[in-house]
A and B are shown apart, each in its own frame.
Chain A
Amino acid sequence: MANKTILTGWGRTSPSVAELLRPGAEAELTPLVLAPGGRGMIARGLGRSYGDPAQNAGGLVLDMTGLAAIGPVRDGYVTVEAGVSLHRLMRELVPEGWFPPVTPATRQVTVGGAVAADIHGRNHHIDGSFGSHVTALDLLGADGVTRTLTPADPDFWATVGGMGLTGVITKATIRLTPIETSRMIVNTWKCRDLESVMTRLTQADLAHRYTAAWVDCLSRQGRGVVEGADHARQGAARSFRARGFEASPGFLPVGLLNRHTMSLVNRGLYATTKRESVQVRPLASFFHPLDRVGHWNRLYGPRGLVQYQFVVPMGAEQTLMKIVERIRRSHAASFQTVLKRFGPGSGGWLSFPTPGWSLALDFPTTTKGLAWLLDRLDELVAEAGGRVYLAKDSRLRPELLPVMYPGLAAFRERRRELDPRLVFQSDLARRLSL
């Protein structure tokens, strides 16, 4: 095999070997799709999914970052190629007064990936997920034909959240958010226990477009900090000058992230946060805490990290609290724990966000008893009618997937109609029998 490359997700678990190709133009993709080889292919963006959706052991992986054209903005809509990153989109469009409709905690994701995972951000309770702002997308199917799909087409909703398995997304037209400045007005509240975090977050959702809470899972009470923010309307001119470090500092010893150091850091963060404050902050500082340190995933050592994000419906607050308590008692240490309330889902068949409470956690893979703990949490989540996020999953039991995603049966059926030879394949698809 030419260009054999070992690929992993951002969590750096489950490496697999594939042939990696970086097409420079859409026309180069068609012959590849028509002669797929025995192990198929999958599109890959910037590799920020934590698990294995952008890996394809023994097959072909298409690095899409070569398709990176940005069209002109017309009436608040822009058509871009799938390999364009949100980082570039912000750099180009923020000065013109436009912001991506949805951004996750990192800018280093491509538009193709954002559609395929139907990503969400802190404005989900108001604006929904990324797919809700896509008005058209070009999909190169297994038959080698590119179709333009709109939300009126069911295949659009198989593709939004479809983890790249319906075809290669080559272009998308996105509705942008107009902004007047490149600053955020950020309100912060410190809450002493989980219940008050949840109450405060619910209140913040009523008043602010962007909200989220950080929860200290190692503290007995589940204390945390809630943020509610909006785009500043007056003041500073629009500019976008965010950049992170190229890499995490190399001198940090492996294993620095453990329960004791995290507990210490959490205590420090909590102690230095004012009880209530209002700040004006640049966009990147508010939206993209994960981009402050490049390759921060390496801090977790060679075995990497396991992300766990779930959502349970509104009304399942008891389940959420039970899960947080179980994590605390297990002594598994999550460094970045983020609580968010979701609004209505987009309609993507395998799209993750659904109305309810979402909690995202990350653990070093080597955490003792972690595999067992997460299996138990899955059961609680499924029982409550919730689900885990495929863009972050790397270890779910396949049999729980249909319980969590009622749209899975339809997705499986449609995928086999669109792609009977299973040209589009990934490690995730094999692991979870998508």
Chain B
Amino acid sequence: MKNAFGEPQSLLIVGGASEIAMATAMRLVRRRVRRVILAGRPSPARDAAAVRLAEAGASVETADFDAFRVEEHAKVIGDVFAGGDVDVALVACGLLGDADLDPLKAADVAMVNYVGAMTAAIVCADAMRRQTHGALVVFSSVSAGRPTAADFLYASAKSGLDAFARGLTEALRGSGVHVMVVRPGFVRTRLTRGVTPPAIATSPETVAGAVLDGLRAKSGVVWVPGILGQLTRLPGSVVRRITG
């Protein structure tokens, strides 16, 4: 349960421990989050994330979640909720993909970023509707609305997820569940190392801060940095130059 200051106490991260998700989790654990569930594929990265969170004071559980195995999502995430209320769920399944137009790789990108993320979000939303509280944070991307030659496979999948999440916001109105769509711009992470950052780039820490602010303010859509929300009014060619 959240406390009087709106601070969550339990956190579910779906899709393993990306740098953004971990930065967010660490901040939440520094406040009131005590139970963290890392739902992702078993991996050294997941184990390392669990150790870091435990050292920060959380009691950490893991759940074997695979974005591709949509038929298991209801069971895997259902078990997490059966173990206790989840105050915040971060849906952070992500696969960047590349510019190759390989149909099977394209299908993978769509499966992880869109289909798997969506089915996981549906299961979370349903469980939160029953507990009548909780925040569901869906990581979209600024590229969802601005595909480029370099990222349009990824962007198309995020675009689908973004539309789904906004629709879900409407569907859950009055249920006590808060859905928040986060649209970061270019984020400097391990994955993007070596890529020349565009004029407006951000960091996992900044995204985490924006997520916490958004949770507190119950925002519907959060752009990181916030200025990106304004830029959507500019012509696409200009925006691409600034955001990459």
B219 within 8 A of A: no
Q: Are B132 and A395 in contact (CB under 8 A)?
A: no
Chain B residues 124 to 164 lying within 8 A of chain A, measured CB to CB, are: 130-133
Q: Are A14 and B84 in contact (CB under 8 A)?
A: no
- B5's contact among A16, A39, A371, by CB below 8 Å, is which? A371
A111 within 8 A of B: no
Bound complex: CA of A57 vs CA of B131, how far in Å? Answer: 6
Chain B 2-18 interface 0/1 with A at a Cβ cutoff of 8 Å (1 = within): 11111101000000000
Closest B residue to A13 by beta carbon equals B4
Known: A16-B176, A399-B34, A430-B84. A58 touches B132 (CB 8 A): yes
B72 within 8 A of A: no
Bound complex: CA of A51 vs CA of B1, how far in Å? Answer: 12
A132 within 8 A of B: no
Bound complex: CA of A71 vs CA of B4, how far in Å? Answer: 39
Q: Nearest chain A CB to B186's CB is how many angstroms away?
A: 33
Known: A58-B130, A306-B4. A398 touches B9 (CB 8 A): yes
Q: Are A394 and B132 in contact (CB under 8 A)?
A: no
B85 within 8 A of A: yes
Chain A residues 375 to 409 lying within 8 A of chain B, measured CB to CB, are: 394-399
Q: Which residues of B contact A14 (CB under 8 A)?
A: 1-4, 6
Known: A39-B131, A57-B133, A58-B130. A51 touches B32 (CB 8 A): no
Chain B residues 208 to 229 lying within 8 A of chain A, measured CB to CB, are: none
Bound complex: CA of A57 vs CA of B85, how far in Å? Answer: 10
Q: List 10 A-B contacts (CB under 8 A).
A: A13-B3, A14-B1, A57-B1, A57-B132, A58-B131, A58-B133, A306-B4, A395-B4, A395-B7, A431-B3
Q: Which residues of A contact B31 (CB under 8 A)?
A: 371
Q: Which residues of B contact A38 (CB under 8 A)?
A: 130
Known: A52-B1, A57-B1, A430-B84. A16 touches B132 (CB 8 A): yes
7 extra A-B contacts, CB within 8 A, seeds A14-B1, A16-B132, A18-B132: A16-B176, A17-B176, A58-B131, A365-B4, A370-B5, A371-B31, A394-B4
B contact face: mostly helix, strand, loop, or mixed: loop
Known: A38-B130, A39-B131. A57 touches B176 (CB 8 A): yes
Q: Which residues of A contact B85 (CB under 8 A)?
A: 57, 430
A contact face: mostly helix, strand, loop, or mixed: loop
A112 within 8 A of B: no
A155 within 8 A of B: no
Bound complex: CA of A13 vs CA of B176, how far in Å? Answer: 14
Q: Are B34 and A398 in contact (CB under 8 A)?
A: yes
Q: Which of B1, B2, B6, B84 has the most CB of A within 10 A?
A: B1
Bound complex: CA of A398 vs CA of B3, how far in Å? Answer: 11
Q: Which residues of B contact A18 (CB under 8 A)?
A: 132
Bound complex: CA of A430 vs CA of B10, how far in Å? Answer: 11
Chain A residues 2 to 42 lying within 8 A of chain B, measured CB to CB, are: 11, 13-14, 16-18, 38-39
Closest 9 CB pairs of A and B: A394-B4, A13-B4, A431-B1, A58-B132, A395-B3, A17-B132, A371-B5, A430-B1, A58-B131
- A371's contact among B7, B34, B84, by CB below 8 Å, is which? B7
Q: Nearest chain A CB to B20's CB is how many angstroms away?
A: 24
Q: Which residues of A contact B4 (CB under 8 A)?
A: 11, 13-14, 51, 304, 306, 365, 394-395
Bound complex: CA of A102 vs CA of B4, how far in Å? Answer: 28
Bound complex: CA of A134 vs CA of B10, how far in Å? Answer: 38
Q: Are B32 and A397 in contact (CB under 8 A)?
A: yes
A427 within 8 A of B: yes
Bound complex: CA of A427 vs CA of B85, how far in Å? Answer: 10
Q: Nearest chain A CB to B111's CB is how many angstroms away?
A: 32
Q: Which residues of B contact A58 (CB under 8 A)?
A: 130-133, 176
Q: Are A395 and B5 in contact (CB under 8 A)?
A: yes
Q: Which residues of B contact A57 (CB under 8 A)?
A: 1, 85, 131-133, 176
Closest B residue to A432 by beta carbon equals B1
Q: Are B34 and A16 in contact (CB under 8 A)?
A: no
Q: Which residues of A contact B130 (CB under 8 A)?
A: 38-39, 58
Q: Which residues of B contact A371 (CB under 8 A)?
A: 5, 7, 31
Q: Which residues of B contact A52 (CB under 8 A)?
A: 1
Bound complex: CA of A18 vs CA of B130, how far in Å? Answer: 10
Bound complex: CA of A332 vs CA of B32, how far in Å? Answer: 21
Q: Are B1 and A427 in contact (CB under 8 A)?
A: yes
Q: Nearest chain B CB to A14's CB is how many angstroms away?
A: 5
Closest B residue to A14 by beta carbon equals B4
